[in-house]
Structure 1
Amino acid sequence: MLNNKVCIVTGGAQGIGRCIVETFAKHDALQVYACDMNGAAMASLEAKYPNVTVVELNVCDRASIQQFVEKVKSEHGRIDVLVNNAGVTRDNLIEKMTEEEWDFVCDVNLKGVFNMTQAVAPVMMENGAGSIVTMSSVVGTDGNIGQTNYAATKGGVIAMTKGWAKELSRKGAQVRANCIAPGFIETPMTVDLPEKVLHYMRSKTPLGRMGKPEDIANAALFLASDNSAFITGQTLKVDGGLVI
């Protein structure tokens, strides 16, 4: 389905990011670069999939990103897919949120996406094609209590994506940019939540369950592939009907 594409996935160590890496590896990607600060957690990916390369990378480190992108370009001559998945949370009510909590989330979730896309997009434009998939959230489209910083970043990446959809294709390049907005998803971040919280999440979702990482990975696979060749500037909600 990915037709020998060269793919980069940030935040690939666990949860949704890891599932995206595995899904891409299984669907004919030539090479999937699984990027994360926790390299040890990704070691098993290389052992399991010959077309996965683990890269320890901080999306806030612009110099390291540039070196990495140049290395990929020198090895393959192109980058076909970028999935901006790396993200963090530091939740607090607005009156209690610290400047450090605000800055940390903005640095990773918003500037990190900017850093990666700024480095990769020119390579895609040179080659005349590419797909950028950025992880937003229903919190970015509809807000949530105690997540001012997170909501700002997830809404921000949607706005950036719309701009990129116009900017990166203006000279005829088939470079596309889209977002995915997950709802309540079963990940290592949610597994230890109290059952009453999990019940609340399920009860608020019309399909009556939480999503699985595979639900998001399959959406990323679609947007990364040529099956979505006429889709750009969009935000795909994968939330079981949570926000309608």
Structure 2
Amino acid sequence: MMKAEGRFGKGGSIINMSSVVSQVGLLGHSFYGASKGAIASFSRHTAVEFASLGYGVRVNSVHPGVIATVMGDRSLQGFVDAGMAGSIEEVVAILEQQAIPLGRRGSAEDVANAALYLACDASSYVTGIELTVDGGYTAM
């Protein structure tokens, strides 16, 4: 239905949600990281396939880093459970001071803005990318 010659007639944009855990190893996240890596790979392959077939449908993936959400806090709890920190707040302080160059966790709005860019015409020549939204975490 999204194909340029399909019902809607102008192509489209598919945005798959992955994670920086697909790009870096993280304690206690092997299965999660593998599943997110599969999403990234699927997105690249589908982007090439759809472009090669002339569908006019772009496919990209968004890779959030440490985001201030309930799910994000659950993930950080693993460091507390492993005895690496005394509390989630301590984990956050360490990350913000030592591991995230921008010095803060991201917000759901940060991730939504990245997806909005990929969804709009401003990214009409963008397909097959992994858009990392992590405050510089994976750059270190």
Give the corresponding residue for 1:207: 102
CA distance in 2, matches of 1:191, 1:146: 14
Aligned to 2:40: 158
Q: 1:195 aligns with which of 89, 99, 123?
A: 89
What RMSD, in angstroms, separates the aligned Cα atoms of the two structures?
1.5
CA distance in 1, matches of 2:19, 2:95: 15
Would the aligned equivalents of 1:186 and 1:212 in 2 still touch at CA under 8 Å? yes
Distance in 2 between the 1:202 and 1:233 partners? 30
* Partner of residue 138 from structure 1, selected from 14, 17, 20: 20
**Separation in 1, partners of 2:39, 2:73:** 26
- Indicate the structure whose relative CO is greater, using CA pairs within 8 Å and at least 6 residues apart: 2
Give the TM-score, by structure 2 length.
Answer: 0.81
Q: Partner of 1:234 in structure 2?
A: 129
> Matches of 1:190 and 1:162 in 2, distance apart?
26
Aligned ranges for residues 69-88 of structure 1 at < 5 Å? none
Q: Does 1:221 align with 2:116?
A: yes
Gaps of 5+ in 2: 78-87
Taking structure 1 as the reference length, the TM-score comes to: 0.48
User: For this pair of structures, how many residues does the alignment match?
Assistant: 122
Alignment of 1:30-109 (within 5 A): none
- 1:104-134 Cα offsets, whole Å, 9 max, x none, are xxxxxxxxxxxxxxxxxxx212235010101
- Counterpart position of 1:8: none
1:172-229 deviation line (CA, Å, top 9, x unaligned): 2210000111110001224575211111221210010000111000000000111100
Q: For 1:211, what is the secondary structure of its paired residue?
A: coil
Deviation at 1:144, TM superposition (A): 1.2
Instruction: Kindly report structure 1 stretches of 4+ aligned residues shifted beyond 3 Å.
Output: 190-193
Tell me if structure 2 keeps the 8 A contact 1:128–1:172: no
Change (3 A) 1:141 1:191: closer
Q: Which runs of 5+ in 1 are unaligned?
A: 1-122
